[in-house]
Amino acid sequence: MYVPDFEYHAPNTVAEACAILAELGDRATVLAGGTDVLHKMKVGKLTPEHLVSLKNLDELREIREEPGRVVIGALASHNQIYNSRLLQRRYLSLPLAAHTMASNQICNLGTVGGNIVNGVPSADLPPILIALDASIRLTSARGERTLPLEDFFYGSAQTRIEPGEILTEISIPDQQTTGSTYMKFGLRRSGALAVAAAAVSVQVSGDTLHGVRIVLASAAPTVLRVTAAERSLIGRRIDDELLTEAGNFAAQASRPRDSIRGSAEYRKNLVGVLTKRALRKAIEEGHA
Amino acid sequence: MAQAITDKDGVKRYLITLNVNGDAHTVLVKGNAILTNVLRDQLDLTGTKKGCELGDCGSCTVLLDGKPVDSCLVLAVEADGRQITTIEGVAANGRLDEIQQSMINHAAVQCGYCTPGMVLSAKALLTRNPNPSEQEVREAISGNLCRCTGYVHIVEAVMATAQGRVTPDDH
Ligand SMILES: Cc1cc2nc3c(=O)[nH]c(=O)nc-3n(C[C@H](O)[C@H](O)[C@H](O)COP(=O)(O)OP(=O)(O)OC[C@H]3O[C@@H](n4cnc5c(N)ncnc54)[C@H](O)[C@@H]3O)c2cc1C
Ligand code: FES
Ligand code: FES
């Protein structure tokens, strides 16, 4: 399979990368793991004049703890997230979500930054990161900005990244939540995209739900947080009825499409079941 | 960055070093050269197979710094300076690796097309985790599609290797 010609750049620092991107504008495509970019170039969906590789920016591979937050570099691979002791200890739900993705070979190449910026509604990491209230930092020659990950997506493969910007890090603030989880249904256990998936986080004390976030994948043209449903659940006593109601809310809020992986009706049904199960798990098992 | 050389037609090529199976190879590649093709066509290491070329089948699996990756989704320039193991580098001193011997013993090879990638995925697993469960073996090879064997013999071969049950004449 042929990959069309392009000009290749491999800057050594973030500043240098930003300078190159500022000069090239939308003629350049950023290259991280390449699992989406090279795929698209091979099937003719993408023909960039310039590829700007981030491979030399080792500082963006780091996963570290800072006061008040956990910081994940945009170049951390899925397997790095899965194997991170720090993330396993703090938010096991995130490594486990990374483990539901793709094959081992893809998980060694693909990065969390690429998974976010690619912007597809079936991506596995954005839902759980949004459930954990993550924000992202975008850096360009013009400076830096931080925004909630939730506000980054606005349509299928449409994000608020601007030409010249690099996603440098993802930041998870210390939590009030008591539990979180990601539950996905794919057509095989390993290496399949989500037919539908639900990420949740909960704040529980005693038998009361004090806080909840519900975020769905493959349930709308974009990753979907169902805030209306969340509001109606807060402050209520946790029982089976409440969880069923939450599932129904999430199913109603979803706007899935028919595709070869599943019909819209089937997906709505799945969303209901997965949301209910995910909530129960997060309530009972914490961040797992 | 690798040294760039522009020829008289204005085509840019990069002088890169691939450390393959312990040998350093300096090769001249265009930016759009895919690692699988450079291994096969420029270094003549044709053990690495090409199937889907889109990351789905795993027949192009190589180890990059010890970790399995689909070489069909890696630009050769991106592998500059890194350590690569292909199937040609698995046997040592003319002797098959235990995992290779075990695949033969268990009749885990039919047409053989998936086998190089399968061996490398299994080898990486056993290096990281010498005592995997069957589930872990299945997960580790889930990115290597086999059209022939139904996987049962392959999984048995990997489990037997892990448990040290491989002998050269065990049939
Ligand atoms: C066989 C196969 C199976 C897959 N299975 C799954 C799956 O189960 N779940 C799933 O979610 N995904 C899956 N994917 C998709 C893909 O692997 C992931 O989305 C991956 O995380 C992409 O990361 P990457 O580093 O390879 O991105 P790249 O391909 O390098 O980049 C993707 C996009 O993001 C941009 N980009 C990347 N990094 C940055 C950055 N730091 N700053 C600015 N822009 C950036 C690129 O310009 C490009 O537009 C699969 C892909 C393949 C080929
Ligand atoms: S040829 Fe690379 S995964 Fe199929
Ligand atoms: S032995 Fe034929 S594809 Fe696996």
> Smallest Cα–Cα separation from B42: which of B57, B73, B20?
B20
ipTM of the complex: 0.95
User: Could you read off the pLDDT of B80-108 as tens digits, one per residue?
Assistant: 999 999 999 999 998 999 999 999 999 99
Give the per-residue pLDDT at A191. 75
8 Å CB contact of B68 and A104: yes
Question: Do B110 and B84 share a structural domain?
Answer: no
Which listed CATH number (3.40.630.30, 3.40.225.10, 3.30.70.20, 3.30.43.10) goes with A7-53?
3.30.43.10
Q: What is the pTM of this model?
A: 0.96
Contact of A55 with chain B, judged by CB distance below 8 Å, is answered with yes
Touching check for A83 and chain B: CB below 8 Å?
no
Give the end of a domain, one of B89, B107, B139: B89
Please answer yes or no on whether B54 and A7 come within 8 Å at the CB atom: no
Q: Which of B56, B89, B122 is the last residue of a domain?
A: B89
Inter-chain touch B1–A55, beta carbons under 8 Å: no
pLDDT bucket at B169, cuts 50 / 70 / 90:
low
Residue B56 forms part of a structural domain:
yes
Across the interface, do B73 and A104 touch by the CB < 8 Å criterion?
Answer: no
Q: How far, in Å, CA of A121 to CA of A220, rounded?
A: 7
Count the domains in chain B.
2
pLDDT band at A258 (very low <50, low <70, confident <90, very high): confident
Average pLDDT over residues B46-60: 98
The full 3-state SS of B61-74, as one line of letters, equals EEEECCEEEEHHHC
Across all residues in chain A, what is the average pLDDT? 95
CATH top-level class of A179-285: alpha beta
Nearest CA among A106, A104, A101, A108 for reference residue A124: A101
Task: Tell me if B171 is assigned to some domain.
Answer: no
Q: Cβ of A104 and B138 within 8 Å?
A: no
Q: Are A235 and A211 in contact (CB under 8 A)?
A: no
Structural domain spans, chain A: 7-53, 58-173, 179-285
Residue B10 binned pLDDT confidence (cut-offs 50, 70, 90):
confident
Compute φ and ψ for B37, nearest 5 degrees: -70, -35
Residues of B with CB under 8 A from a CB of A: 1-2, 12, 14, 30-32, 34, 53-55, 58, 61, 64, 67-70, 72-75, 77-78, 121, 124, 138-140, 142-144
Q: Is residue A216 within 8 Å of residue A228, measured between CB atoms?
A: no
Ligand 1 and A74: CB distance under 6 A: yes
CATH number reported for the structural domain that contains residue B13 in this entry: 3.10.20.30
Whether the pLDDT of residue B18 is over 80: the answer is yes
For chain B, say whether A45 makes contact (Cβ under 8 Å): no
Least confident of A94-98, A154-158, A181-185, A204-208: A154-158
**Residue A40's closest chain B neighbor by CA?**
B54
The CATH number assigned to the domain holding B130 equals: 1.10.150.120
- Does B30 share its domain with B82? yes
What contacts A83, CB < 8 A, 6 or more positions away?
A: A95
Does A55 contact B143 at a Cβ distance shorter than 8 Å? Answer: no
What average pLDDT score do residues A177-188 get? 94
Cβ–Cβ contact A6 with B under 8 A: yes
Q: Which of B49, B148, B151, B155 to mutate to test the pocket of ligand 3 (most atoms within 8 A of CB)?
A: B148
Range of the domain at B122: 98-162
In short, whether B148's Cβ falls inside 6 Å of ligand 3 is yes
| Residues B64, B103 within the same domain | no
CATH tag for A58-173 (out of 3.30.465.10, 3.40.50.2300, 1.20.120.790, 1.10.150.120): 3.30.465.10
B39 in Cβ contact with B45 (< 8 Å): yes
Please tell me if the CB atom of residue B111 comes closer than 6 angstroms to any atom of ligand 3: yes
Q: What is the pLDDT of residue A96?
A: 96
Please check whether residues B107 and B131 belong to one and the same domain: yes
For residue A161, give the ligand nearest its CA. 1
Question: Given pLDDT bands bounded at 50, 70 and 90, which one contains residue B1?
Answer: low
Q: How far is the CA of A222 from the centre of ligand 1 (A)?
A: 16
In this predicted structure, what is the pLDDT of residue A277? Answer: 97
The nearest CA of chain B is from the CA of A247 a distance in Å of: 30
Ligand nearest to the CA of residue B112, numbered in listed order: 3
Give the pLDDT score at A187: 85
Same domain, B18 and B75: yes
**Nearest Cα to Cα of residue A15 among A60, A51, A69:** A60
